[in-house]
């Protein structure tokens, strides 16, 4: 089996993984930094990059060891080169390039967003059956802390961006909503727990009307929640004050507001998917599969909604296991394997590290890297 070591350090997880050429995850190691950033209510870039420096080599070595391999057994090295916090990215990319150069191995620089998109093709290490063969054309959806993007996929690695957020990503909006409600870091998972048992219709949100019906906008939802929790600010400019605080909420109202905000955010996702699906059906062949990925897909409510949506329209759903929804290196190595199996020989070691995604450059069809 040809195995690729993948490395991921785009934000606050230091991760490494080995994936073989049947897209089986032979090992996956993730060193979380939640405890380092909890006091700040979010990720502090300087702290994140320093923690990556301390953890990157042990995490890489453990991934190789857990796979039962030696460095000499690897067929290639892959790493997330974009998008992300530039200081964090540089740690992982430098380690990957150094290892590829020292061992004379092919190097694959992978787009983090694209890796999320195809993470649902990853399989357990003991899977004996053939890799999944999804049907095309397909729709693709990435919903994470930094990205909310909708794609049309004509074949493996052939994507066109249909829509994206014009302000907050869904995951970022959920984190900010959690902060407004007085919930601790990490915000998204705590908001999900708080929403359980809450009334999702307690606060009604208006879906934004945008120039492109396939774009997303979450900032208005966040502002409405702010005013609901703290009231309309009184005074002008720096002298303005809010009449209330999140500590004034009773637990029942907190649960209702959490459930309502989560419902509104996910309703917008389903609206955009429906619009895209209807447009494809009218203009060309209808979508036959939905690929989804990103940390927010670990949310049980969203997974259930997406399952129902696909079932009602006859689409197959390709969704990662929960552990491969959040940032991880298995998805990096997996996308590199897809590229290698398609005949891609890898990238030059001069491949740049970039803070923005390949898909931030426009909406023309793009060959995934």
pLDDT in tens, 279-316: 999 887 899 999 999 999 999 999 999 999 999 999 99
Four-point Cα dihedral 254, 260, 266, 270, nearest 10: 170
**Residue 341, strand partner residues:** none
**In terms of domains, do 302 and 161 share one?**
yes
Backbone angles phi, psi at 235, to 5 degrees: 100, -175
Closest CA to 118 of 290, 344, 285, 272: 290
Closest CA to 112 of 24, 17, 10, 12: 10
**In terms of domains, do 90 and 237 share one?**
no
Domain-located, residue 63: yes
pLDDT at 238: 80
pLDDT at 87: 96
Domain-located, residue 131: no
Domain-located, residue 85: yes
Interatomic CA distance for residues 318 and 170, integer angstroms: 20
pLDDT at 172: 95
Domain at 352, CATH number: 3.30.420.40
**In terms of domains, do 310 and 171 share one?**
yes
**In terms of domains, do 149 and 284 share one?**
yes
**In terms of domains, do 35 and 64 share one?**
yes
Domain of residue 333, residue span: 3-122+322-367
Two structure tokens written together for 322 = 């929960």
**In terms of domains, do 70 and 164 share one?**
no
Domain-located, residue 225: yes
Domain-located, residue 127: no
Residue at a domain's end among 318, 335, 355: 318
Residue that has been written with the tokens 């620089």 in this structure? 109
Interatomic CA distance for residues 259 and 132, integer angstroms: 35
Interatomic CA distance for residues 230 and 248, integer angstroms: 9
Residue at a domain's end among 277, 301, 318: 318
**In terms of domains, do 74 and 8 share one?**
yes
pTM over 0.85: yes
pLDDT at 186: 86
Residue that has been written with the tokens 């955009």 in this structure? 272
Closest CA to 263 of 210, 199, 323: 199
Residue 68, sorted as left (phi over 0), alpha (psi -120 to 50) or beta, turns out to be left
Domain-located, residue 298: yes
Cβ(180)–Cβ(225) below 8 Å: yes
Averages of pLDDT over each 10 residues, the chain, 369 residues: 95 95 96 84 89 96 97 97 96 98 97 96 86 93 94 90 95 96 92 96 93 96 96 87 93 98 98 96 90 97 98 97 94 97 95 87 60
Q: How many CB atoms lie within 10 A of CB 10?
A: 28
**In terms of domains, do 283 and 351 share one?**
no
**In terms of domains, do 239 and 309 share one?**
yes
**In terms of domains, do 97 and 143 share one?**
no
Domain-located, residue 116: yes
Domain-located, residue 129: no
Burial of 83 (0-12, 13-18, 19+ CB in 10 A): buried
**In terms of domains, do 197 and 306 share one?**
yes
pLDDT at 367: 63
**In terms of domains, do 250 and 304 share one?**
yes
Number of domains within the chain: 2
pLDDT at 359: 80
């Amino acid at each position: 089996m040809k195995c690729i070591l993948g490395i991921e350090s785009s934000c606050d997880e230091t991760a490494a993984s080995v994936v073989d050429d049947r897209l089986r995850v032979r090992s996956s190691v993730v060193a979380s930094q939640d405890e380092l950033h909890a006091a700040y209510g979010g990720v502090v870039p300087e702290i994140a990059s320093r923690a990556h420096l301390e953890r990157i080599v042990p995490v890489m070595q453990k991934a190789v060891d857990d796979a039962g391999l030696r460095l000499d057994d690897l067929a290639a090295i892959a790493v997330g080169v974009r998008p992300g916090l530039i200081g964090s990215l540089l740690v992982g990319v430098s380690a990957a390039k150094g290892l590829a150069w020292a061992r004379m191995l092919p190097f694959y620089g992978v787009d983090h967003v694209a890796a999320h998109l195809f993470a649902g093709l990853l399989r357990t290490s003991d899977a004996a059956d053939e890799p999944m063969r999804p049907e095309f054309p397909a729709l693709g959806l990435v919903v994470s802390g930094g990205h909310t993007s909708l794609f049309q996929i004509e074949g493996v690695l052939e994507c066109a961006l249909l829509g994206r957020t014009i302000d907050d990503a869904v995951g970022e909006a959920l984190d900010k909503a959690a902060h407004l409600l007085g919930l601790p870091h990490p915000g998204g998972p705590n908001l999900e727990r708080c929403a359980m048992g809450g009334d999702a219709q307690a606060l009604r949100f208006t879906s934004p009307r945008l120039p492109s019906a396939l774009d997303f906008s979450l900032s208005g939802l966040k502002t409405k929640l702010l005013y609901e929790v703290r009231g309309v600010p009184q005074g002008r400019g720096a002298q303005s004050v809010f009449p209330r605080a999140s500590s004034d909420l009773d637990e029942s109202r907190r649960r209702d507001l959490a459930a309502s905000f989560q419902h509104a955010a996910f309703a917008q996702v389903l609206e955009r998917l429906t619009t895209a699906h209807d447009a494809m059906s009218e203009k060309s062949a209808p979508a036959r599969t939905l690929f989804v990925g990103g940390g927010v897909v670990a949310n049980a409510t969203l997974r259930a909604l997406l399952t129902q949506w696909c079932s009602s329209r006859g689409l197959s759903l390709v969704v990662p296991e929960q552990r491969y929804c959040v940032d991880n290196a298995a998805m990096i190595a997996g996308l590199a394997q897809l590229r290698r199996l398609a005949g891609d020989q890898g990238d030059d070691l001069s491949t740049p590290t970039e803070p923005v995604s390949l898909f931030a450059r426009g909406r023309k069809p793009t060959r995934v890297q």
